[in-house]
Amino acid sequence: MISAGDFRNGMTIELDNGIYQIIEFQHVKPGKGAAFVRTKLKNVINGGVVERTFRPTEKCPQARIDRKDMQYLYSDGDLYHFMDVDTYDQIALNEETVGDALKFVKENEMCKICSHNGNVFSVEPPLFVELEITETEPGFKGDTATGANKPATVETGASVNVPLFVNIGDKIKIDTRTGEYLSRV
């Protein structure tokens, strides 16, 4: 159990039959009345954000989130298969659990599988991936000085905005959190 006075950003707590991560917290001491803790909480299962206030002495259980490195093997229909590289155990996750996490992930790459009490609720891709451009319009000479972007399709099928000098066959580095082009490789 953790008291509201000990809240920190990034902590996960169990509250109202849900698991929440503390995005922001603020200790408020009004001139009149008792102090309280104002928080902004993100539901780690569905991504919803709620604001809630606590008395500093209020206690709630701290949630234990397990993050395990697993290798993404393949998808067949709406199931995505992952393997633990230490024990060779395999699990299959449905499309709802995976969401857009594998948009930039190729087969045989490592991902983090997040679970609480054995129930998997999300997949975290690597922060940066290197992918090859499979389709884009050619850039024209002289256009590179404007800093303009053009759409491109990478080998996983995802679409990314890239600078005009990037061509088909180039390998690029992508930030998976934002989906932005970082550099050529």
- pLDDT tens digits, 7-60: 988 888 988 888 888 989 999 888 888 899 999 998 887 778 999 999 888 899
pLDDT for position 93: 86
**pLDDT for 72-106, tens place per residue?**
888 888 888 989 888 888 888 888 778 777 888 88
* CATH class of the region 66-124: mainly beta
d(CA 138, CA 170): 12
Which segments of the chain belong to CATH 2.30.30.30? Answer: 2-60
- Phi, psi (5° rounding) for residue 143? -80, -15
- CATH placement of domain 128-184: 2.40.50.140
Q: Which two tokens stand for residue 18?
A: 């849900």
Residues linked to residue 106 through DSSP beta bridges, in sequence order: none
Which segments of the chain belong to CATH 2.40.50.140? Answer: 66-124, 128-184
**pLDDT for 129-183, tens place per residue?**
888 888 888 866 665 556 778 888 988 888 888 888 888 888 999 888 888 888 8
pLDDT for position 141: 62
The DSSP bridge pattern shows strands 12-15 and 59-60 to be unpaired
Q: Which two tokens stand for residue 158?
A: 């995802």
CA neighbor of 20 nearest in space, from 36, 31, 35, 4: 4
SS3 85: coil
Residue 66 confidence (pLDDT) above 90: no
Confidence bin at 117 (pLDDT 50/70/90): confident
Contacts by 47-56 with C-beta closer than 8 Å and gap 24+? 49/23, 50/20, 52/15, 54/4, 54/7, 55/4, 56/3, 56/4, 56/5, 56/27
Say what the pTM is.
Answer: 0.70
- CATH placement of domain 2-60: 2.30.30.30
pLDDT for position 50: 92
